Structure 1
Amino acid sequence: MRSTQFLGRRITAAASTVIFATALLGGATAPALAHGQVATPVSSHAQDQAPAETLQPDPTSPTAYEFGETLAGLEGEQLEITFLAEIIPHHQAAIEMSQLELERGASPDIRTHAENIIANQQHQIDQFTRWLEEWYGLTPEEAMAQAPEEAQEEMKVLEEETQMMIEELSAVEAGEGFDVAFVQKMIPHHQAGIIEFLEPQSRADHAQLRVAATAGITTQQAQVADFRTWLAGRS
């Protein structure tokens, strides 16, 4: 059982990661109230004049931030193997969600994004799988088994959450409503991927992996920005 001190350290580090990842994504977070500060109630007149509620993406998994912190504590071979063990199934899930968008979506713009996700992430899956074999003689499944116990636990939670996300998306009927649901889920999925890319981008031993991580961040950050703009236009 983790100690209170250890949990406190994890929460502090995770909060720092949230701020950094939010800055990377160009997003904004609502300012927190100071201790003891009371929010000023909104008048009924102001409420009457308020615009319609903006559609929002689903929240990013807290476990993604925890996994990012775990990667930050790893070095060299262990960092690369653990990252590759997670990012490969993460990309595979994005491809599965994008294939659903191509089957059921109505928006040409979002369908084009789905096609790009499939192409880009399949390319990286092929790269990462090949590198695991060339560098370490491992399959993705073997790499996962070699990851630290804490990382394995977090990857298991992330897999369960991703499967639930896919199941929820699979239950949405075809049409523009599916486009909205796809975007709402792909934004946090991309955000989790960006968090996972941060450590190998700066500290991977292999230059090829650092370059690939940078490309992954750049591509997914641009798609998140486009998705947020599109989602705001649906409100």
Structure 2
Amino acid sequence: MRCTQFAGRRAAAAASTLALATAVLGGTTAPAVAHGQVLTPASSHSQEEAAAEMLQPDPTSPTAYEFGETLAGLEGEELETTFLAEIIPRHRAAIEMAELELERGTSPDIRTHAENIIANQEHQIEQFTRWLEEWYGLTPEEAKAQALEEAQEEMKTLEEETRMMIEELAAVEAGEDFDVAFVQKMIPHHSSGIVEFLEPQARAPHAQLRVASTAGITTQQAQVADFRTWLAGRD
């Protein structure tokens, strides 16, 4: 019975994340995942030529979609603790990237976004860490250690991918090129976070977490849109 429910929720999550990716990422950057398979939208020759002429963000990690599907199979405490175990280090990584932007970037608009990312995500880290302790008596590390094996493997992959992203960004010299590299990497980082927020926004037992997830989606959607507009203007 649980397997059937789990499979059903995974299928629903795949549809939800694909729809959201199409809305947020313009339907061209984020791969959809269904039953573990990465699906790439078909594109015409003219679309490929247009994309080649534009600065593009890095692709969104397929593992983020897989983790979203995993969350769709969880309920109650297990849903909340697994989500919080992943989103807290994800926010820490975003802050690290934003701090690099403040050190090396030159665009006033992008630097302002970096400042907002630091403020918003530090606030959520404080909330989420406190809630884990108050509700379940767990640290983020303890929550990760008790997650399902599948979720742990996905979180490990996401952590490795994020660390590589930060290392690539840290290798870029200060100046306008750094602004571009930061935006190209922050778009998929935010997009992965949005995917992860979907299930707790809809089904977290605690109303506080549902509200915070909605705020996370709204804030990061707006920043993704601004980053895409800024990147398009660089052509």
1:165 aligned counterpart, secondary structure: helix
Aligned AA (2:19): F
Q: What is the rounded CA distance, in whole Å, between the counterparts of 2:54 and 2:119 in structure 1? A: 31
Cα shift at 1:175: 0.2
Q: What is the rounded CA distance, in whole Å, between the counterparts of 2:84 and 2:194 in structure 1? A: 13
Cα shift at 1:13: 6.3
Q: What is the rounded CA distance, in whole Å, between the counterparts of 1:14 and 1:205 in structure 2? A: 18
Partner of 1:4: none
Partner of 2:27: 28
Q: What is the rounded CA distance, in whole Å, between the counterparts of 1:183 and 1:146 in structure 2? A: 34
In 2, are the aligned partners of 1:57 and 1:184 still within 8 Å (CA)?
A: yes
In 2, are the aligned partners of 1:71 and 1:199 still within 8 Å (CA)?
A: yes
2:188 aligned counterpart, secondary structure: helix
Q: What is the rounded CA distance, in whole Å, between the counterparts of 1:52 and 1:78 in structure 2? A: 43
Q: What is the rounded CA distance, in whole Å, between the counterparts of 1:234 and 1:216 in structure 2? A: 27
Cα shift at 1:32: 2.3
Aligned AA (2:77): E
Cα shift at 1:9: 9.1
* TM-score of the pair, normalised by structure 1: 0.86
Partner of 2:231: 231
Q: What is the rounded CA distance, in whole Å, between the counterparts of 1:194 and 1:98 in structure 2? A: 18
Q: Say if 1:157 and 1:10 are closer, same or farther in 2 by CA, change over 3 A.
A: farther
* TM-score of the pair, normalised by structure 2: 0.86
Q: What is the rounded CA distance, in whole Å, between the counterparts of 1:176 and 1:84 in structure 2? A: 35
In 1, are the aligned partners of 2:201 and 2:209 still within 8 Å (CA)?
A: yes
2:126 is equivalent to residue 126 of structure 1: yes
Q: What is the rounded CA distance, in whole Å, between the counterparts of 1:51 and 1:131 in structure 2? A: 43
| Count of equivalent residues | 216
Partner of 1:106: 106
Partner of 1:200: 200
Partner of 2:149: 149
Aligned AA (1:198): L
Deviations along 1:132-170, one digit per CA (max 9) or x if unpaired, are 000000000000001111000000000000000000000
Q: Say if 1:15 and 1:202 are closer, same or farther in 2 by CA, change over 3 A.
A: closer
Tell which deviates more after alignment, 55-64 or 17-26.
17-26
1:121 aligned counterpart, secondary structure: helix
Partner of 1:70: 70
2:60 is equivalent to residue 60 of structure 1: yes
**Structure of larger gyration radius:** 1
In 1, are the aligned partners of 2:10 and 2:72 still within 8 Å (CA)?
A: no
Aligned AA (2:20): A
